[in-house]
Amino acid sequence: MIRRDRRSFVELSIFGLGSIIGAAFGIPAFGYLFSKKNDILPAGWTDVADASAIPPGAPQEVLFRRKRIDGWKTIDERTSAWVVKQASGDIIALAPGCTHLGCAYHWSGEDKHFICPCHTSSFGLDGKVLAGPAPRALDRYETRVVNGKLQVGRVQISEG
């Protein structure tokens, strides 16, 4: 027969309590680290504008809300894009940050190009660098038109 004294009872109690606490923290942490987060979220396309309302050659800044994944965190953010309908009818959506240091740029109707007021970079209607310290063209969102609505997807980083 096993004799239980007070010391062994306290040791077993501490071990048991530690096991319960460890399981209470460990099981949810294990589930969080090894779950497939991307399977839960939609494909990532967001309606931003009525495609027929965009005039050709005149950039428009559109504001919209979208869900973005940052690591394991899902963020519901308000963001913008500069939308341009080209002469061919194709629509491009430019990301709102300058490729030099990420400053917000704007359209200058007088000069007919995008201007970054912080470091004097300028970009053409297609997002290509015209002047300034910006190292590459403006980044673009993936775009598509579905049922007359312009949708944007992920930002595509420009290549020089």
The proportion of the chain whose per-residue pLDDT surpasses 70, expressed as a percent, equals 92
* Mean pLDDT value across residues 126-144: 91
Residue-wise pLDDT for 58-98, tens only, equals: 899 999 988 877 777 888 889 999 999 988 888 999 999 99
pLDDT at 70: 75
Contact (Cβ atoms closer than 8 angstroms) between residue 160 and residue 57: no
Tell me: pLDDT of 37 over 60: no
DSSP assignment of 10-78, as one string? HHHHHHHHHHHHHHHHHHHHHHHHHS-GGGTS----EEEEEGGGSPBT--EEEEEEEEEEETTEEEEEE
* Mean pLDDT value across residues 144-158: 90
Tell me: pLDDT of 43 over 60: no
If pLDDT is split at 50, 70 and 90, which confidence band does 36 have? Answer: low
* Mean pLDDT value across residues 132-143: 91
CB under 8 Å to 62, separation ≥6 — which residues?
48, 49, 80, 81, 82, 83, 93
What predicted TM-score, i.e. pTM, was given to this entire model? 0.69
pLDDT at 151: 92
If pLDDT is split at 50, 70 and 90, which confidence band does 41 have? Answer: very low
Give the separation between CA 139 and CA 21, rounded to whole angstroms.
48
Instruction: Report CA-CA distances (Å) from 130 to 103, 111, 127, 136, 137.
Output: 17, 12, 9, 10, 9
If pLDDT is split at 50, 70 and 90, which confidence band does 40 have? Answer: very low
Count the alpha carbons within 13 Å of 27 in the hemisphere toward its beta carbon: 5
